[in-house]
Amino acid sequence: MNGRMEVKPTPLLIDSFMPSCDVTIAEHVIVRRDPSTTFRSARELDFLSIHTPVLHVAMWARGIPARLTGHSAEPPPRLVLSQGDPLPGWVVLGEQPGYELVFGAVGKFWQPNIEWRDVAAEDFAAFAEPGWGKIAASFSVVPYGERASLLTYECRTTTTDSRSRQKFLRYWELMRPFIAHILRATVRTIRDNTEQPKT
């Protein structure tokens, strides 16, 4: 024996929905609670509870075209994807209980007014109609030492044709810092909710 302990990797469910992509981004945070509690907190996240000054400005700016054309809509009172709260284009794709939650969307998110396409979870992986982009995102939780967890929020994006890829990559070059900020704010919100639950 060489003294090394071999750790068997756990397959990621997100790989079955999007094994390859045009871009990927991920944020990680250590949560000082057990994996089961951390995963439950991630699964029950209300996305509308995420607040930072930069996020508010980015969302306000993103909504300008819709407001100018009269297509803006009031946000829902809450947004918990795992509990079926509606968000145009988005759907829960699958779950490994206690470990990973995968959700995704199909849309033309590089446009000033985003156009979403409702695609069922069972059709998501094979969807390849030209002109669209696909996002697959996941929360995953693994043990970190004996008393903590490592929470990861990963977001992958692919496109269905070369023209859409060009449009998306131009959009990505501009928006990547804001998207990274949103992911960081999300994992920190989950961490805070888990370590200091509201009473």
Residue 24's nearest CA partner among 186, 180, 192, 191 is 180
Architecture of the 21-65+77-195 domain: 2-Layer Sandwich (3.30)
| Whole-Å CA distances, 107 to 15, 91, 110, 111, 150 | 20, 12, 9, 9, 30
- Where is average pLDDT lowest: 3-12, 138-147, 177-186? 3-12
Q: Is the pTM of this model over 0.75?
A: yes
**pLDDT tens, 79-125?**
888 888 777 889 999 999 999 999 999 999 999 888 999 999 999 99
Domain ranges of the chain: 21-65+77-195
State both tokens at 75.
């946000």
